Chains A and B, each alone.
Chain A
């Protein structure tokens, strides 16, 4: 089925480890986004991408790295995980026209 998938859905890791969260969309949407959702803060934008090989920082980019070599994939890497990065991470995409974003099911990450 078309849509956005995220993997893994749940991840437990330790402080200092590298973690990569995967996002895949089948709509060929040009824009893709990564958010984190925390109590009291709502959804905050980490990074976004307007097209393959074009990425830009959002509101809370520190400690995260993204890449986008293919239109359909937008992985998010935590190079050295910290406890403050424990959160639920959502990937979203949107077509080039319009502002509606479509969200994936989320990845629940716990950093011990």
Chain B
């Protein structure tokens, strides 16, 4: 069993829809939780970072962490074609990150 599980998709939604991306994890040592966005043929870039259970908002993006259920989510409101990318969840313990396999998202104009 992988330490981090992420639905690989692909996921296609119409422009303006709310998108929900999810990851589950099994390692209780994970303390920090991140979402990276990766455009085709580019390196991952940090989108959201949080370390406590609850919600964190940044513009159209909301990161949600539920440590008791070992479950994290990323919500994208008013999705735009420019949001089309692969989204990677990542979790850290002991200075290292463990990544999910990524969800490929396409926003249809």
- Chain A contacts to B: CB under 8 angstroms: 4, 31, 33, 40-45, 48, 50, 58, 90, 94, 99-106, 108
B6 / chain A contacts, CB cutoff of 8 Å: 42
Question: Is the pair A43, B95 in contact by a Cβ cutoff of 8 Å?
Answer: no
- Chain B contacts to A: CB under 8 angstroms: 6, 8, 31-32, 34, 36, 41-46, 49, 88, 92, 95-97, 99-102
How distant is the Cα of A103 from the Cα of B44 in the complex, in angstroms? 6
Name the one of A58, A102, A104, A108 contacting B96, with C-beta atoms under 8 angstroms: A58
Question: Is the pair A43, B43 in contact by a Cβ cutoff of 8 Å?
Answer: no
A104 / chain B contacts, CB cutoff of 8 Å: 43
How distant is the Cα of A102 from the Cα of B101 in the complex, in angstroms? 18
How distant is the Cα of A20 from the Cα of B101 in the complex, in angstroms? 26
Given contacts A99-B92, A101-B97, whether A42 and B32 have CB atoms under 8 Å apart is: no
Name the one of B49, B96, B99 contacting A100, with C-beta atoms under 8 angstroms: B49
Given contacts A50-B95, A99-B92, whether A41 and B101 have CB atoms under 8 Å apart is: yes
Question: Is the pair B88, A106 in contact by a Cβ cutoff of 8 Å?
Answer: no
Given contacts A90-B44, A100-B34, A106-B43, whether A45 and B49 have CB atoms under 8 Å apart is: no
